[in-house]
Chains A and B, each alone.
Chain A
Amino acid sequence: MAARPVVSVFGLNGSKLDATVPLPSVFTAPIRPDLVQFVHKNMAKNHRQPYAVKQQAGEETSAESWGTGRAVARIPRVAGSGTHRAGQAAFGNMTRGGRMFAPNKVWRKWHIRTNTNQKRYAAASAVAATGVTALVSGRGHRINKIDEVPLVVTAEAESLKKTKEAVQLLKALNAYADVAKVSNTRSIRAGRGKMRNRRHRQRRGPLVVYAQDNGITHAFRNLPGVELVDVTRLNLLQLAPGGHLGRFVIWTQPAFEALNNVFGSQTEASEQKKGYTLPSAVISNPDVTRLISSNEIQAVVRPAGPAYTKRPFTQKKNPLRNTQILVRLNPYAQVLRRAEMLGKNKRTTKKMHKKSATGKFLEILKAD
């Protein structure tokens, strides 16, 4: 990219400041929803806690099958007497109180390793996606009123200490609608999670990215849905929640400028990620329609076929019955047919000249 587009910085009162920041190279990284989904899926599994049934569940009996000849199914049955449990089926996954099929084990592989380069690519994609208004609003953030995306705030925001001030800032930026959305969508979870310390659910609000925490964390942390993160520790699970690109991010100016160090560019290695350069797109000009209609390509393209192609020969017609087809195959047949018809006509006319039975014949015929 020759000329870097420039992003304006907003002050604490929401007005545009004179200072501007050139757009970091991350925002030109290819946006790969498929990769982000893949990496997110893997990363999301990493904070799982193991679950399993008790090791001896369903096997704490000395049940044995009664065998045949006792008018009962051959499933193992609990030995003994004097209680309901005696004679009940045990051990099978289909029995009541039996062991489940393939009991869960804690040594299931809960965490998934992803290649570092893939993780970085996904993070870069996710950051790039935060710069696309369509994606951010498509993800569901209320950003109709904000002035610019990416949204960059002065460094003074990092020194905010009071939540009141934070709310003031957000309102000045017209970003409070997104926070309001979160509190409006706070509801009780459906399902058993309710009683498992996951009672409430709510949407996600803006992500505030800072370079130095001089109080900003304390100011914003109590706002519902707002998340804070240091620019050197950007998390894909926050940048693309649910694997969906386009989180609404509010950058502070130092954080925005630091992105170049964090990710580097397509040509320059990153300072934070050793030896890492941003990925380049497979196709540099994504406007495929324009490419196809360009002169260079049209010059070598073969001419287009007709819009509707007629199906070739679909029905075999019998030449012995269909004269057209016969003549198509044998042009001389026309001559033969014509001669035949003429011959026939001649014969019929001849017949008309034939006399009817003569008198003498009739006499003899009627004699008997």
Chain B
Amino acid sequence: RKHAQKAAADKAAAKSAARLQNRKKRQVIFKRAEQYVNEYRQTERAEVRLRRQAKKAGNFYVPAQPKLAFVIRTKGINKIPPKPRKVLQLLRLLQINNGVFIRLTYATTQMLQIITPYAAWGTPNLKTVKELVYKRGYAKINKQRLPISDNSIIEENLGKYGIICVEDLVHEIYTVGPNFKAANNFLWPFKLSNPTGGWARRKVRHFIEGGDVGNREDKINALVRRMN
């Protein structure tokens, strides 16, 4: 009985300590989210400002090359030749309608070229990234696919990179930060639904030809909106 009482007292003390900790964390998360909102707004307005500036001066504004891409596998499992099959595996696109974020480099761009007939990709905007992570975000924890139900899940796994909440994760993905690889790999490939309103008439053709595959730059956002 004495032991049970002592255990109960310990538990209560631990609980109140944990609650205090949590409150502190919440404050930090709040501040960070606020900071990110401002940051996003700033970068957006900066883009606009630079365009306007260039137009005013009669110059051309060349925006930075996109750093982030979102790739969706549009082809099923069968009849994929070996090289594109391997590339799809490397990109973790193992199932139809699977989506992953990819950091765009020369190498990855070449990989996307190889899988052009089997995937649709483009540059996602902030809303796309946010919605994907919030609605379809599952974490790869101990090889298990677990829903991101709480910030503690993110903190325990990505805390060492300074990512402690969903907003941190979204920020890391969207701005392709220094720990993009860790953050992206933490996310299980997104399992999207088929798009409401359907695919193009002949899905297998390139987007340019009226189909769905290949690079469709910012039109990927509309597609994800329909698939999410």
Binding site for B on A (CB under 8 A): 298-299, 301-304, 313, 316, 318-320, 326, 328-333, 335-336
- Kindly list the 6 A-B residue pairs having the minimum CB-CB distance in the complex, ordered from nearest: A303-B7, A332-B33, A316-B147, A319-B134, A331-B30, A329-B166
A330 and B3 in contact (CB under 8 A), knowing A313-B147, A316-B147, A320-B134? no
Residues of A within 8 A of B131 (CB): 320
B4–A303 CB distance below 8 A: yes
Q: How far is the CA of A303 from the CA of B10 in the complex (A)?
A: 11
Given known pairs A313-B149, A316-B147, A332-B30, the reply for A326 and B134 (CB within 8 Å) is yes
Query: Is there contact, CB below 8 Å, between B3 and A301?
Result: yes
Residues of chain A within 8 A (CB-CB) of B50 are none
Q: How far apart are the CA atoms of A326 and B148 in the complex, in Å?
A: 11
Contacts of A319 in B (CB 8 A): 134-135
Residues on B with C-beta less than 8 A from A336 are 37
Alpha-carbon distance A84/B135, docked complex (angstroms): 84
**Prevailing SS type, chain B contact patch:** helix
Q: Give CA–CA (A229, B17) in the complex, Å.
A: 75
- Apart from A326-B134, A329-B167, A330-B33, 20 more pairs, CB < 8 Å: A298-B3, A303-B4, A303-B7, A303-B8, A313-B149, A316-B149, A318-B134, A318-B135, A319-B134, A319-B135, A320-B134, A320-B135, A329-B151, A329-B165, A329-B166, A330-B167, A331-B30, A331-B33, A332-B29, A332-B34
Interface, chain B (partner A; CB < 8 A): 3-4, 7-8, 11, 26, 29-30, 33-34, 37, 131, 134-135, 147-151, 165-167
With a cutoff of 8 Å between Cβ atoms, the chain A residues found around residue B11 in the complex are 303
Q: Is the CB of B29 within 8 A of A331?
A: yes
Chain A residues within an 8 Å CB radius of B30: 331-332
A297 to chain B, nearest CB (A): 11
Name 5 A/B residue pairs within 8 A (Cβ), A-sorted. Answer: A303-B7, A313-B147, A329-B134, A332-B33, A333-B33
With A320-B135, A332-B30, A332-B167 as given contacts, are A304 and B4 in contact (CB-CB < 8 Å)? yes
A contact face: mostly helix, strand, loop, or mixed: loop
Q: Bound state CA distance, A298 and B37, in angstroms?
A: 55
CB neighbours (8 Å) of A304 from chain B are 4
Given the known inter-chain contacts A316-B149, A332-B30, please indicate yes or no for A303 contacting B135, CB distance below 8 A: no
In the complex where A298-B3, A299-B3, A303-B4 touch, is A330 in contact with B135 (Cβ < 8 A)?
no
Chain A residues, CB < 8 A from B34: 332, 335
A172 to B131, CA, bound (A): 93
Chain A residue numbers with a CB within 8 Å of B8 are 303
Closest to B26 in A: A331
Among A301, A304, A329, A333, max chain B CB count under 10 A is at: A329
Complex CA gap A304/B167 in Å reads: 38
Distance A259 CA – B34 CA, assembled complex (angstroms): 89
How far is it, in angstroms, between the C-alpha of A158 and the C-alpha of B17 when the chains are bound?
Answer: 81
In this complex, what residue of B is CB-closest to A312? B149
* B54 CB, nearest partner CB in chain A, Å: 32
CA distance A319 to B228 in the complex (A): 13
B19 to chain A, nearest CB (A): 15
